Structure 1
Amino acid sequence: MKKICALLIATLLLASFAACKGGGTKAPPAPEGRTVTDMTGRTVTLPEQVERIVVLTAGDCEILYALGAGDRIVGRGEYCDYPADVLDVPSVQSGYDTNVEQIVALKPDVVVMSTMAQTNEHIESIEKVGIPVVVTEAPNLGGVYEAIALLGQVVGKTSEADALIQSMKDAFAALKAKVPQLDKKPAVYFEVSPLQYGLWAAGSGTFMDELGNMLGAENIFADLTGWVQVSEEQVIQRNPDFIVTTTMSYEGSPDPIEEIKSRAGWENITAVASGRILNADNDEITRPGPRLADAARQLFELLYGGAD
């Protein structure tokens, strides 16, 4: 009996020693999930598989659909309205007010938002409840390509993202190859806000400016940066050959092109006198997403009479 007890004690001591020794060398557990670096430089930890997404920005919403991840969107921003299928998804926003409680209830793996539409307060309010936030920033075409690549990483569709970027570049290259050699570049005024709200124009560094440059046109406000407020006098003085307006026509509102033609003093602007005014699809030409290629085709047709 004594021998059995001694053997048992020895066995327990050896087991205890082995456990202590093993505990001293055991590696710490690896962090769960994976990380991506968003367009603000933030490192964000995500689940290995992102299956539930809340997207607050229209351009990012369109990118996710173009990547084949639209069925993962469980919540959307108020202006996420394309393609039409996304309208069946609940909106978690009203203007700039984001319903964090509703977002939490949707149990998303990630919330995608943009610096162009949301603030640091929006980011912090969602991260406080433990939901990862990925932020895009796409004020120009380069930014659009980066946003596509980033969201491809987020949803595990990097090859699809590469293909989408290349298809956009190919579309732009095909149009650029058809631009005729002219002695003088056509001058374009890009109006993004109508007179009743104060004239705002696209300056340099915007994707509208880039599209114009790509197609051999000159933005009359290229000396200004970003989205800028301008005066009627400035537009008249700079006398554009073409005008592109993104003003949308609503029931009871004046036709955007007719409203421009009726402005006092604008009748002598070359674009107005010649009727070379395009009421561009607001969403296509102002959203940083895949449909910028369609906007480029519209602009080419205005400038040169057709893309074919």
Structure 2
Amino acid sequence: MTLLRLALLSLLCAAGMTHAAPPARVVGLGGAITEIVYALDAGGTLVGADSSSIYPPEALKLPKVGYYRTFSVEGVASLKPNLVLASDQSGPPQAFEQLQRLGSKVVVLPSAPTLAALDQRIVGVAAALDMQARGTALVDRLHAELRELKPPAQRLRVLMVSSHTGKMQAAGEDTAADAMLALAGATNVLAGQTGYKPFSAEAAAALKPDVIVTTTMSVSASGGVDKFLAQPGLNATPAARQKRVIVMDDLLLLGFGPRLPDALRQLQAGFAARPVAAAR
């Protein structure tokens, strides 16, 4: 991130934290950001959120303002928030300036899939809500849970696949998926690749993953787990033959939010599960 970008974020954060009183009308832009508000027991302040804000169930009832990367300024403004909490991937870029001109304070939080950035997200949201003590307690509890996690006995080779549109994409480095695998003690079979990229049936078969990890949306788009694993390429992998597939909620797996310890426990439990005998 450039110095200019860092300076901009600092200015926006400073602008958002000069409340004379705790904010009463808050809009969350980014599923993990909204989830942090609820984790701080401040869900009652939320008057709206973006479409990626799907947890907890109460978030589904909030008025939606579009997807956070391309949210509707008019939609946010219509909710008359005095605070907007946003992922630094929210946009378009000029939208924050428009919201500030309309009288809303804006706090922009880092979205990087790292523990340090997660701490900053929690502390930043808590400070904006004038709940610093709750933020500190949440960070301390999260790290205590993470310290209790033990690395798996065997470091498995894992393929993380997304297939929302019917075309498979696999996660390489510099992704939340790769960061999750590293924290869970697994090896990403596509560690030499950067970002999400399409891959061929031949490439999938050659990778020979022990386990495949994917999301509920990807499985639903494929018509179920069996059809997902039957896709060309995946069906030739050891993981598919033994039905070693871990399916997790999209936001839990990739959101890098306050449920991170839960996500890692689910991953590790999946890694420890016994392989299903291959059909003859």
Flag whether TM exceeds 0.5 (same fold).
Answer: yes
Q: 1:253 to 1:212 in 2, by over 3 A?
A: closer
Q: 1:246 aligns with which of 215, 221, 230?
A: 215
Is 2:166 the partner of 1:200?
A: no
Is 2:194 the partner of 1:221?
A: no
Residue correspondences, number: 264
Report deviation, 1:293.
1.9
Is 2:51 the partner of 1:63?
A: no
Cα distance in 2 between the residues matched to 1:174 and 1:91:
37
Question: Unpaired runs of 5+ in structure 1?
Answer: 1-36
Cα distance in 1 between the residues matched to 2:78 and 2:97:
17
Report deviation, 1:133.
1.6
The two structures, once aligned, show a CA RMSD in angstroms of 2.7
Report deviation, 1:93.
2.6
**TM-score, structure 1 length as denominator?**
0.76
Report the counterpart of residue 278 of structure 2 in structure 1.
Answer: none
Q: 1:201 to 1:145 in 2, by over 3 A?
A: farther
Conservation of the 8 A alpha-carbon contact between 2:208 and 2:237? yes
Conservation of the 8 A alpha-carbon contact between 1:188 and 1:244? yes
Conservation of the 8 A alpha-carbon contact between 1:239 and 1:270? yes
Q: 2:125 aligns with which of 132, 151, 161?
A: 151
Cα distance in 2 between the residues matched to 1:289 and 1:116:
15
Q: 2:19 aligns with which of 47, 54, 58?
A: 47
* AA aligned opposite 2:238: T
Conservation of the 8 A alpha-carbon contact between 1:51 and 1:72? yes
The percent identity for this pair of structures is 27
- Deviating runs (4+, > 6 A) in structure 1? 249-252
Higher relative contact order (CA 8 A, sep 6+): 2
Cα distance in 2 between the residues matched to 1:191 and 1:112:
30
Conservation of the 8 A alpha-carbon contact between 1:202 and 1:228? yes
Conservation of the 8 A alpha-carbon contact between 1:39 and 1:147? no
Report the counterpart of residue 25 of structure 1 in structure 2.
Answer: none
Report the counterpart of residue 283 of structure 1 in structure 2.
Answer: 251
* AA aligned opposite 1:104: A
Q: 1:162 aligns with which of 132, 136, 144?
A: 136
Cα distance in 2 between the residues matched to 1:250 and 1:274:
17
* AA aligned opposite 2:183: M
Cα distance in 2 between the residues matched to 1:205 and 1:251:
26
